[in-house]
Amino acid sequence: MEENTPKTRRTLIGSILLWVIVPLVLGSLTALLISRPVIGIITLRDSIYAYTAENLIKQIEYARENENIAAVVLVLESPGGTVVHTEAIYLELLALRKEKPLVVSIDGMAASGAYYLTAAADYAFAKPTSMVGNIGVIGMLPDAPIIFENIISTGPYKLWGSPRDTYMRQIETIKQAFYEVVRGGRGERLKAKTDVVLSGQIWPATTAYQLGLIDELGSQTQAVEKAAEMAGVRNYKTQDLSIFASSSTNAPYGFFAQSENGTLLPYPKEAGIYLLYIPPMQAGQK
C-alpha cells in the first residue's frame, strides 16, 4: 500500500491535470472552433434587373463560400424582371443548392421571373394570399426591318438583330425553357398540367399549393426552421446577408417607366423580353 505522501499527492494531481483537465480544456477550446451555424437570409423586394441581380449574386456567392452558413432562405417579393438577369440568379442559386439547402419564402408576390427563382429552391413557402405564378414571357415585337438612305450596315439584320417573326419565336423558346425550369425544379411535386402551368395565370398561394407550385403555406420563420432542418442544424442564428451586397451598377432606378408626373409605372421603360408580371390594365396600356 502506497503512502499518502506529498509526493504521491502531487503525482496524482499531476496525472489528473495531464490526463483529465488538459484534454478537457483542450477539447473545450477546440470545440469553440465549431461556430454556431447560420441560416442566411437573402431578400429580393424589387424587380429583377442588372442592379438587383448583381446584389443577389454577391449574397449567394458569400453564402456558398462561407462555411458557417448552413442554409439559405430566399425571401421574395417581386414581379420578376429581365430574362437574362433572372437566369443569372437562377444559375447561381443552383450552384448554391448543390452545397446547401435553399428554401424560398414568398411574401406578397413571386410572379414570373421571381417564380423562376422559386423553382430553383428545395422547398417553397408562401403566405395564404401571396400571389404566385404568372409563368411565361412577355415582349414587344420590334418594328419590321427597313433600310435607311444614310445608315449603312453589313447585313439585313445588323440594324434589327433578327427578323420580326424570329423575335416572336424566340419568346416561345424562352417559354419552353421556363417550363423546363419549373418542371425540373418542382419534379414530382408539380401537380398542374402543362397547359395550366403555361396559362400565365397568377394564383393565390392556396391555389398554387394545390397545383404543386409551392410546398407549404407558412411564415418566414417556418422557412428558416425548414432550412435548418434540411441542413441538419439546430441552435442556429439567422443573418441578413444584404450587408454583403454591393452593386457596381448604378442606383436602382431606371427599370420601370415613369408617367409624366413622375409616378413610377409597373412596366419597364424599354421594349424587350421580360419574365415580368404587369397588372392587367397596365398590360393593356403598354
Asked if 143 touches other proteins (CB under 8 A), the answer is: no
The closest alpha carbon to 97, from 77, 78, 124, 79, belongs to: 124
99 touches 61 (CB < 8 A): no
The closest alpha carbon to 65, from 43, 87, 38, 90, belongs to: 38
The neighbour count for residue 70, using CB atoms within 10 Å, is: 21
Among 230, 239, 252, 256, binds other proteins (CB under 8 A): 230
Among 154, 234, 243, 248, binds other proteins (CB under 8 A): 234
Distance CA 52, CA 23 (A): 50
The three three-digit cell numbers of residue 141, written as one number:
415585337
Output 159 or 233, the one with its CB closest to other proteins: 233
Among 184, 246, 258, 269, binds other proteins (CB under 8 A): 184
Among 67, 180, 240, 270, binds other proteins (CB under 8 A): 180
Beta carbon of residue 176, minimum distance to other proteins (angstroms, whole number):
5
In one letter, which amino acid is 189? R
Listed in sequence order, the residues at least 6 apart from 280 whose beta carbon sits closer than 8 Å to its beta carbon are: none
Among 166, 210, 221, 246, binds other proteins (CB under 8 A): 166
Determine the size of the site formed for other proteins (CB under 8 A).
57
Distance CA 89, CA 40 (A): 16
Output 28 or 250, the one with its CB closest to other proteins: 28
Binding site for other proteins (CB under 8 A): 15, 18-20, 22-24, 26-28, 30-32, 34, 36-37, 91, 94, 97-101, 122, 144, 164-166, 168-173, 176-177, 180-181, 184-185, 187, 194-195, 198-199, 229-236, 281-282, 284-285
